[in-house]
Amino acid sequence: MRIFKYYIFVIVIAAFTGCEVEYYDSPNESAVVPTPGIMNRVQKQLMTDTRDEWFSGRQALLWTQYWGQVNYTEEDRFQYRETVNETGWDDLYMHAEDLKAIIDLNTDEATKADMAAYGNNENQIAAARIMLAYLFHQAVEVWGDIPYYSYKSEDPDFQALDLVVGDQKYPAYASQEKIYADLLKELDEAEAMIADDYEIDKEYVIDGDNFYNGDAGQWKKFANSLRLRIANRIKDVNPTLANQHIADAKDNVMTSNADNAGVTYTADNDANTAPMYAAFYIDNRLDFAPAHTFVELLKGERGPFGWDPRIDAMVADNDEGIKVGIPVGASREVVGDFEWESLPGDGILDPKYKELYMEYSEVCFLLSEINGWDQDWYEKGVAASMEKWGVDASAIASYVAGLPPASEETVLTQKYIALYMQPYEAWAEYRRTGYPKTLVMPGQSYDVVVPRADGSTTTFSYEFDPLVDLTDLPNRINYPLVEQNLNGANNSAAAEAIGGDEMDTKLWWQK
């Protein structure tokens, strides 16, 4: 169902009170909260919090050069806002608390019988575990070692959601190597935990499910697809573990766009509209435009492909009826003088836009890579992405027929295009592979050619001028400053373990 219910279950967190972030259960929570409301809220609000104008729009969307800012370009140049960093951290742990509540309500003898009215207890636990794996996967790829929780684990590094207020204890940070191994285990066990053959009136995973209306088979595909993503991420640093999970997961993954996991927003009221629609048309923040590197890639002027028919959905025409991207990495004064940029496409700024956790086209590109840059899976991935973006079938067939052969560059560049509006996954893939090669790097000079309505062109020259001492995209974001004050010893130990709390510190799986 797609009814966004707001149950009062969330904990009080630093973003709103200035108090310490709580990794543990709140003593003021309601005694019994229906699990459908919790799942419904988390699925929707996690997307809203991580795909909004702040955590996405002023960080990863800029760094992957999908968008650039029109007025304030400091974040484009890697000077992120600490308030955005802290709020993102707090939001993720708040949602983790809520997901753990689903587990608790389905395991506690006092509540599990009542919760069974909303789906098989084991299935609800499995869904929460899958969602927790997605959430912690995103967190570990933003910051590195983090406080982590794992279902029924006795590992002292995996107890981030099990501490109590009275003890005033704060969790250790688990290493990335341990977290990735546990994420794969959790997804494997959770997928196997889902029963799809129980009595007819319980043929769903959990009520309130925004993804699949509770369909057990699709939840299994989502779990395996996410496991395929994570295993592929670490295959260069732990090939034995990765290949084991790849082999086990790949035969039951997403098979069409009908399996895409995401939340479709509504236009019934301002609170339920898509996050970027809210930014542009409710908050009136016309601060963003598609980046010139991305627009040139779609126009066939940069990279190995020709004109991409997805461009109409992804990039609007400017006032002269032409698609032009904003310069990237220049000062606000320089960018402020540029007057020809396009807005994002109307589909993206639709109040009913669907934000995706994972989609079929990504699975196709993963399978192409796993199978040695397989041509068939590469073509399926491009076609699936175009179908999702509403491209006509004849235009899809024509574009796919003209694709250059599958290779590391072509597959990963098409994957980058397909991940438009999913910038954290695109950022992770860039850090893993170095693709696409179409981005402008810090310190690099470049030209932007602006076509005009009269057929003329004007060329402008720019330089990517970073405000942080980086020669490439950031590898991570620094730990929130509040963690240094509230969880200082564990935070310091984590910073030392990863090689320094810096933006150029590589994650465990980076080359």
Indicate the pTM of the whole model: 0.93
Nearest residue to 42 (alpha-carbon basis) of 85, 97, 89: 97
Sign of CA dihedral 96, 99, 103, 108: positive
State the alpha helices, DSSP H only, in 234-352: 239-249, 275-277, 292-298, 311-314, 332-336
Q: What is the pLDDT along the chain (511 residues), one digit of tens a residue?
A: 223 333 333 332 222 223 344 444 454 554 577 999 999 999 999 999 999 999 999 999 999 999 999 999 999 999 999 999 999 999 999 999 999 999 999 999 999 999 999 999 999 999 999 999 999 999 999 999 999 999 999 999 999 987 544 455 689 999 999 999 999 999 999 999 998 765 544 458 999 999 999 999 999 999 999 999 999 999 999 999 999 999 999 999 999 999 999 999 999 899 999 999 999 999 998 999 999 999 999 999 999 999 999 999 999 999 999 999 999 999 999 999 999 999 999 989 999 999 999 999 999 999 999 999 999 999 999 999 999 999 999 999 999 999 999 999 999 999 999 999 999 999 999 999 999 999 999 999 999 999 999 999 999 999 999 999 999 999 999 999 999 998 999 999 999 999 999 999 999 999 7
Q: Write the pLDDT tens digit of every residue in 333-348.
A: 999 999 999 999 998 9
Distance CA 203, CA 242 (A): 32
Burial class (CB in 10 A: 0-12, 13-18, 19+), 136: buried
The encoded tokens of residue 28 equal: 């003021």
Q: Which two tokens stand for residue 260?
A: 């895409």
Do β-strands 354-358 and 445-451 pair in parallel, antiparallel, or remain unpaired? unpaired
What is the identity of the amino acid at 334? Answer: V
pLDDT for the residue numbered 162: 75
Quote the CA–CA distance of 367 and 381 in Å, as a whole number: 9
Q: Which long-range contacts (CB under 8 A, 24 or more apart) does 82-86 make?
A: 82/480, 82/481, 84/54, 84/55, 84/58, 84/59, 85/477, 85/478, 85/480, 86/14, 86/15, 86/480, 86/481, 86/482
The span from the CA of 403 to the CA of 425, in Å, is 24
**Cα(453)–Cα(455) distance, rounded to whole angstroms?**
5
For residue 42 the two structure tokens come to: 């988390």
The Cα-based distances of 409 to 65, 112, 148, 440 in angstroms read: 17, 50, 34, 16
Residues 53 and 275 sit within 8 Å (Cβ to Cβ): yes
Pairing of strands 445-451, 457-463: antiparallel
Answer for the pair 168, 488: CB distance below 8 angstroms, yes or no: no
Contact between 184 and 248 (Cβ < 8 Å): no
For the chain, first and last CA: distance in Å?
Answer: 42
Rounded CA-CA distance 402/204 in Å is: 42
User: CB within 8 A of 201, min separation 6: which ones?
Assistant: none
- In one-letter notation, the amino acid at residue 440 is V
Q: At 178, is the secondary structure helix, strand, or coil?
A: helix
Letter string b/e over residues 351-381, b meaning 16 or more CB atoms within 10 A of that residue's CB: bebbbbbbbbbbbbbbbbbbeebbbebbbbb
- State the DSSP code for 420: T
One-letter amino acid identity for 503?
M
226 with 211: CB under 8 angstroms? no
How high is the pLDDT of residue 31? 56
CA dist., res. 432 & res. 115, Å (int): 41
Q: What is the pLDDT of residue 230?
A: 98
